Structure 1
Amino acid sequence: MRKRRLFLLLLIVSLMLSMLTPVGAAAAADSGKEPLAYTDTVKTAAEKATLLTKQYGTTSVQYALIDQGKIVVSGQAGKNDAAGKKPLTADTMYGIGSTSKMFTTAAVMQLVDAGRIDLDQPVVQYISDFTMKDERYKQITPRMLLNHSAGFAGSSLQNAFLLSDNDTYAHDTFLKQLSTQVLKADPGAFSVYCNDCFSLAEILVERVSGSGFTDYIHQHFTEPLGMTNTGTPQDNLDESQMAALYVPSYRQQLPNETVNAIGTGGIYSTADDLARFSQIFTGQAADILSADAVKAMANAEYRNGLWPAEADNSIGYGLGWDSVDLFPFNDYGIQALAKGGDTVLYHASLIVLPEQNMAAAVLSSGGSSSFNQLLAAQILLQALKEQGTIDAIKPDKSYGAPVTADMPKELLDAAGHYGSSTQLLTVGVTADGQLSLTTPMDPSYPAEKYTYSSDGSFINANGSAKINLVKESNGRTYLWVRQYAQVPGLGQLAISEYAAEKLPTNEVSEETLAAWNERDGKRYYIVNEKYTSIAFLASPSAQVLLFDDVPGYVLSQRMTGPNTSVSDLQIPASGGRDNGPVQFFKQDGVEYLLTGSNLYISQDALKPIYSGKHARVTIPTNGNSKWYTIPDKAAGKTMSVKLPSAGSYAVYDENGSLVTFSVIHADDSIVLPKNGTIVFTGAAGAKFDLTLS
């Protein structure tokens, strides 16, 4: 587990300058409005897109605005290869990540329209071989899949993210993976972001329709809407049409990122095509989805379960949608529907204004969906202003400086340790109304400070964030964070969520504590990802870190025995996502770590790579990867590898940073770094012949 900064801070990454290639398209609306050239909107879109490439870690960006069924703004910024020779065009395709979930949702709702699916009947009525080690799974309904409230523990994505490899393993084994799992919450109790919900919804569409998912979306969406540049890995997409991918540690272009969990994140498209897709939700493609279905998707589903009180927000789930009342459009009395998507390397955002028959889509290589959403919002606001729908773009918001007041003494009891899936926080509260946030994960980082204010919340000095300590009806205490996160040049993201939950004391036996203390600081290396997995781009390892201040816990997971830990968190939205149980076990004297579908081997099992002239590595019959350390005798030597047809190797330095990955680099030799590691991975029985010189 890597150390992370506090969640209230927005990390802005600056990368190399990129070249702007804007393309503006003007069209007249046909709804009685005066024809508009959208001159100001074209300019704003180009300027803000350029900003993404210059300051926010984006290699390239593509955007489109549709108004009354016509694409009126379309453009690109950045570059599509390191030399700048391959042009970006409106036809350049990007992975849209979780924006794919809108296709899955629309497919389910089509089958609802046809009377073939009932949103509130158990899923097992449609998928008879869906089973889990938790009888509550029988209560899960299609609605719970689409509003993220099924209660699944995490994301079953083994071999889902590959490089130039459309292997269907993730889809084909998905039900088998679920069959070994238990739920982390009662179905319907609250909505917490869930990839597995949509992988199961994909299978639901296939079982009910009798069609493969890729064929279904082409027949029912891409062909009727003229989306000629939209597809899935199963279409054997032309990689030369894809936006180029890079990571900071490599100058060389990467192979295409192939996401094989299609219903949850594996569709590829263009901004223009996503704009065309949006017509389903503005009533201009009524023959595809009924008005009732579109309206149902835009209902505030998040209110069905545990959720903070209403506030400006970027998250508020509908069916499929991340938000059904997106900030800042709610300040103008305009409903905005939004869905974002992030793979490892691609990012996407779609914002739809149903009542205005408008939408904007922004796709990128590098960056983040949050930045793309801000750009899409800027484009829409400028267009609304230019057409006279709004008078002006409103100034940024703030909670104002705290107005000090006497703090209720009972809030002192809310101090303590709080956890989420990725954070461990210490909340301090003093009698004079001061709240501090620190983290054992980074003790050198200065405390964030908040002052109790007359509105009953704690507010920071500049008024950008406020915190309440809320005891909910379920008896749990939550850290309720509201924030206007300023992104210079792009506007504000509004955040309102239960960001963490107070952790109760967890007394453990001496045996349990001793077993976990023995693992403290150790690394475990993944062994069950395919040789083309994108996991090998970064050091594919997990580290066990314990903190003396929070005994009985591994991050926010409660130790339940010498070899097991579980998450008891009941946090809606994102704070409780992907937090399944952890189990250690030994096989042939070697310790392994199993979490979700990922299997890791202990660093103690790693042997030094042979430092002589010749060696051979063979993948065992179980297909697990083989990891080695680099001893002093081998460091500095050049290793040449004769690769099998189904295999790869990767080398990492002593800090875990990638030195080479043979799926990316055609060169079959590498100088071995001191104190580094090597992984060989491939099909069972694959042989690697090594020469060191």
Structure 2
Amino acid sequence: MRDNRFFTINKALLLGCLGLMCTAAFAGLKVSAKELNDEYVYCVGSVSKVYSTAAVMQLVDEGKVSLDAPVTDYIPNFKMADSRYKDITVRMLMNHTSGIQGTTYVGPFLYGKENAFHDEVVFDTLAKQRLRCNPGEYSAYCNDGFDLLGVIVENVTGMSFGDYVARYLAAPTGGTSTSTGDKASLIENLAPAFSADGVRFENDVIMSIGAGGVYATASDTANFGAAFFRNADELLSEKAKSDMETLWQNTDDFKDRNGLGWDSVNDREYENTEVKVLGKGGDVDRNHAYLLVAPEEEISVAVLTNGGNSTLNQLVAEAILDACLEEEGLKLKEEGTSDFDISLDIPSSYDKYEGDYVINSGLGWDSVRISFPDHEYVHVENIGPLRSGGTDYGYTKDGSFVKLAYEVADSGINDIKPASNPEVLRFEEGTDGKVYIKIERKENLPEVGVSEISTYCGEKMEPNPISGELMAFWSGVCASEYMLSKDAYNSQTFDFPIVRLIVSEDVPGYLYCVTGMGTRILKIVDEENAVAFTTIPSSRNRDLLDIKAEANEGGVTLYCSNGWEFISDESIPTFDDGVGEVNLKANEAVWFNIGETRVNTDVIVASRPEDSVVYVYNKYGEPVYSSHIIGVKNSLPMPKDGKVMFIGGSEGKVILN
């Protein structure tokens, strides 16, 4: 076993995040050992994808799996509503090029207790889903692909994925605390879960096991990372490790730079110093992780936190790596600052790029209108439902556009200058004639570091004229709000279960689907279907969503391609003084609109089944009460224009006073 050095940071001193707990571990051959006792165990989130990939690569080493064989060779019951699924290979699952839309969001992220509901629905969900592109066409992040890798491990070995990880990945690298979400209730010393304002919740239980359900200490994770050092033979052959750290493509710096399982296999910052660095981040509700490995230098750093996010963890891991490299006499090359020569004469050849675009900033989708006023600068006007204003960019001699410090309308054309650490925008025409937007930017995170981004992030929207009758139909659908109706009873999705649809006023034929996980922009097809239409060749095109609206006696039900199912507001009853008990069905939400007679009162829950949950939401759809809060009382607040929801894991009854 390699010597180890560990760092533990408690409270918020390092990252400035309220209530943050952070554990970092370092594994390397050339440092002295210092033991860290009683480490917390965290869910490592999507760092689990490196575990899943390593597990399958072991089977490749043993000749039991072929990387370029169809997935259906190992999962005969895997089917999709798109015949191209038969062309998806094992390798495509590992490098996110399968074309699968993204994530089955029914039951993967839970509170408190294990629940197999996700496993029960994922194959049914995929069987109704189309692909977003041809398999192998481009890489866009896909959780479902890694859950399928976990199934391959189970089908080939006859073991549960969790048992395989413990025996063949954790044990050989000295991991004594590594487990998986299906055994979460058995994990000792699990890091307690707190919200940003210090409220303690039941712990994250992640049932999307292959994609994000591995649990470990920072030292276990760092020692697992050390198995990717050169000449390390605990887990994989040199050929398998080389395959994992090879870029899926190396012709376009704006496309994803992932290998097999790893998010990054050629970090530009370290590449300039000729240091090979592998990286993988992971985020679930309250647990966040980053694993950073320098195979040649034999350095592995894992940073796990409760609070913050994986980008912050990455910057902490890089700071530790930089210090270790400096001890070895390796110092990163300083990048020079960029000087932008702004011209006020944009060539007329750029006129074809004027129009409406869909943009994914990384925080959700929005629509913008791009114009070139007097051919002097670019104006990007937000035309989405939030109407957040505009941004201007100056034209540079290399054909790119640099974000300006001020809008020209405010500062005047003669006073333009680049913003500090400006974003750089470029237009790109695809071989299919579609127009994409590429961006480069650096995000300064005070006291932590700088995060660099280069990616495709937008696509020009094509006209989609629809009839007045079709517009009227969808306007009627959009008149209601929609509540999540079916999911695992302890699903974290009930933290943000309300969806609103908004017909675009500026771009006919499109609508916005506003969820608690961000906004999606959909193309109206007919009186039932509105679908994702983007082909952006990067992970900004992840987690696409198609919806089908089906009218019924009570209102409208929305069926979503990721497994979500929503019922319209008019179909739910009123929660008034006459409601004294609520009958529960397994994993089906029972919703009420809070009646006037209940407003500003407290309703007491006299009894409810152990496998049940209660939420209360205000008029904005924000939870003001959740029975997932540790120590919460059984008194329910009743806000005006709010809603209350009850759900159980089995049939039962909630008694109210």
- Return the TM-score normalized by structure 2: 0.90
| CA-to-aligned-CA distance 1:220-279 (integer Å, 9 cap, x gap) | 111111111211123344466111211236x43111110011100011111111110012
**What SS is found at the alignment partner of 1:299?**
coil
Aligned to 1:277: 224
Q: 1:306-321 maps to which residues of 2 (within 5 A)? A: 309-310=252-253, 315-321=256-262
Residue 616 in structure 1 maps to residue 555 in structure 2: no
1:589 and 2:554 correspond: yes
| 1:506 aligned partner | 464
In 1: Cα distance, 2:421 partner to 2:183 partner: 50
Residue aligned with 1:131, SS: coil
1:330 aligns with 2:271: yes
Q: Which amino acid aligns with 2:365?
A: Q
Aligned to 2:589: 625
Residue 187 of structure 1 aligns to a residue whose secondary structure is coil
State the match for 1:264 in structure 2: 211
**3-state SS, counterpart of residue 289 of structure 2:** strand
User: 1:511–1:562: 8 Å Cα contact kept in structure 2?
Assistant: no
Determine the structure 2 residue equivalent to 1:157: 105
Distance in 1 between residues matched to 2:554 and 2:49, nearest whole Å:
43
Q: CA–CA distance in 1 between the matches of 2:230 and 2:157?
A: 24
Unaligned runs of 5+ in 2: 404-417, 513-520
Alignment RMSD: 2.5
Structure 1 residues 360 and 604: CA distance shift in structure 2, 3 A: same
Q: Secondary structure at the match of 2:428?
A: strand
Match of 1:241 among 189, 195, 200: 189
Question: Equivalent residue of 2:271, what SS?
Answer: helix
**Mapped contact 1:371–1:490 kept (Cα < 8 A):** yes
- State whether residues 49 and 375 of structure 1, in contact with CA within 8 Å, keep that contact through their aligned partners in structure 2: no
CA distance in 2, matches of 1:145, 1:267: 18
Aligned-partner residue type, residue 200 of structure 2: Q
Q: Percent identity?
A: 29
Which residue of structure 2 lines up, in the alignment, with residue 367 of structure 1? Answer: 308
CA contact (8 A) 1:90 1:272 kept: no
473, 482, 491: which is aligned to 1:515? Answer: 473
Q: Where does residue 111 of structure 1 map in the other structure?
A: 59
- Taking the aligned partners of 1:351 and 1:217, their CA distance within structure 2 comes to 20
Deviation at 1:433, TM superposition (A): 3.9
Change (3 A) 1:348 1:609: same
Quote the offset at 1:174 in angstroms: 2.3
The one-letter code sitting in structure 2 at the alignment partner of 1:323 is S
1:24 matched residue in structure 2: none
Match for residue 567 of structure 1 among 524, 528, 532: 532
Residues 176 and 57 of structure 1, relative CA distance in 2, 3 Å threshold? same
Kept in 1, the 8 Å contact 2:106–2:121? The answer is no
Q: How far did residue 394 of structure 1 move?
A: 4.8
Aligned to 1:383: 324
State the shift of 1:335 in Å: 1.6
Change beyond 3 A, Cα 1:201–1:239: closer
Out of 29, 38, 42, the position equivalent to 1:68 is: 29
Cα distance per residue 1:642-680 (max 9 Å; x no partner)? 212432211112222212112334522223222211001
Of residues 521, 526, 548 in structure 1, which corresponds to 2:484?
526
- How far did residue 373 of structure 1 move? 0.5
Q: 1:652 aligns with which of 607, 617, 621?
A: 617
Aligned to 1:101: 49
Contact 1:405 1:454 in 2 (8 A): no
How does 1:74-473 map onto structure 2 within 5 Å? 91-238=39-186, 241-248=189-196, 251-303=198-250, 309-310=252-253, 315-390=256-331, 393-395=332-334, 398-404=337-343, 406-420=345-359, 422-426=364-368, 427-441=370-384, 444-460=387-403, 461=418, 462-473=420-431
Q: C-alpha separation between the residues in 2 aligned to 1:618 and 1:58?
A: 38
Shift of 1:46: 5.8
Give 1:632 shift.
Answer: 1.9
> Match of 2:93, SS?
helix
- The answer on whether the counterparts of 1:63 and 1:74 sit within 8 Å (CA) in structure 2 is no
- Return closer, same or farther for 1:118/1:449 CA change in 2, 3 Å cut-off: same
Q: CA deviation at 1:51?
A: 2.6
Q: Could you tell me how far 1:379 is from its partner in structure 2?
A: 0.9
Give the secondary-structure state (helix, strand or coil) at the position aligned to 2:570: helix
Q: Given residue 403 of structure 1, which amino acid in structure 2 is its aligned partner?
A: I
TM-score normalised according to structure 1 size: 0.85
Distance 1:343 1:255, change over 3 A: same
Q: Which moved more, 1:342-351 or 1:563-572?
A: 563-572
Partner of 2:647: helix, strand, or coil?
Answer: strand
1:263-304, Cα deviation, whole Å (9 max, x unpaired): 00011111111110012211353142000000011111144x
Which amino acid is the alignment partner of residue 347 of structure 1? H
For residues 687 and 239 of structure 1, what CA distance do their matches in structure 2 show? 31
Kept after mapping to 1: 8 A contact 2:9/2:22: no
Aligned to 2:599: 635
Deviation of residue 487 (structure 1)? 1.4
State the 1:337 CA deviation: 0.8
Kept after mapping to 2: 8 A contact 1:148/1:193: yes
Amino acid of the residue matched to residue 647 of structure 2? Answer: T
CA deviation digits over 1:487-533, x for unaligned, max 9?
12222111111101111011112222111112335321101122212
CA drift of 1:209 comes to 1.7
Q: Cα distance 1:167–1:683, how it changes in 2: closer, same or farther (>3 A)? A: closer
Deviation at 1:57, TM superposition (A): 5.2
Native 8 Å contact 1:639 1:690 kept in 2: yes
Deviation at 1:90, TM superposition (A): 5.5
User: Is structure 2 residue 500 aligned with structure 1 residue 543?
Assistant: yes
The separation in 2 between residues aligned to 1:492 and 1:689, in whole angstroms, is 53
Amino acid corresponding to residue 254 of structure 1 in structure 2: F
Aligned residue in 1 for 2:449: 491
Which residue in the other structure is 1:602 paired with? 568
- Within 1, Cα distance between the matches of 2:274 and 2:426? 27
Q: Is the 8 A contact 2:179 2:187 kept in 1?
A: no
* Shift, 1:442, TM fit: 5.8
Cα distance in 2 for partners of 1:489, 1:394 equals 20
Partner residue of 1:33? none
The structure-2 alpha-carbon separation of the partners of 1:182 and 1:364, relative to structure 1 and needing over 3 Å to count, comes to same
Identify the residue that residue 643 of structure 2 maps to in structure 1.
677
Per the alignment, do residues 682 and 302 of structure 1 end up closer, same or farther by CA in structure 2, a change over 3 Å counting?
A: farther
Structure 2 letter corresponding to 1:600? F
SS class of match (1:198): helix
Asked whether the equivalents of residues 191 and 302 of structure 1 are also in contact (C-alpha less than 8 Å), the reply is no
Does 152-161 or 474-483 show the bigger shift? Answer: 152-161
Q: Distance in 2 between matches of 1:199 and 1:580?
A: 19
Superimposed CA distance per residue, residues 608-636 of structure 1 (whole angstroms, 9 cap, x where no aligned partner): 10224x6222135x752111111221112
Q: Distance in 2 between matches of 1:647 and 1:265?
A: 25
Q: Give the aligned residue type for 2:109.
A: F
Deviation at 1:172, TM superposition (A): 3.7
Post-superposition offset of 1:575? 1.4
- Please point out which of 9, 14, 17 is paired with 1:51: 14
Instruction: Could you tell me which runs of 5 or more consecutive residues in structure 1 were left unpaired when the two chains were aligned.
Output: 1-26, 30-37, 76-88
For residues 66-120 of structure 1, what are the alpha-carbon distances to aligned partners after superposition, in whole Å with 9 as ceiling and x for unaligned?
2227676888xxxxxxxxxxxxx66211111000000000011111111111111
- Number of residue pairs matched by the alignment: 626
Once the 2 structures are TM-superposed, how far is the Cα of residue 593 of structure 1 from its aligned partner?
A: 1.0
Match of 1:86 in 2: none
For the Cα contact (< 8 Å) 2:344–2:377, is it kept in 1?
no
Gap change, CA 1:275 and 1:547, over 3 Å in 2: same
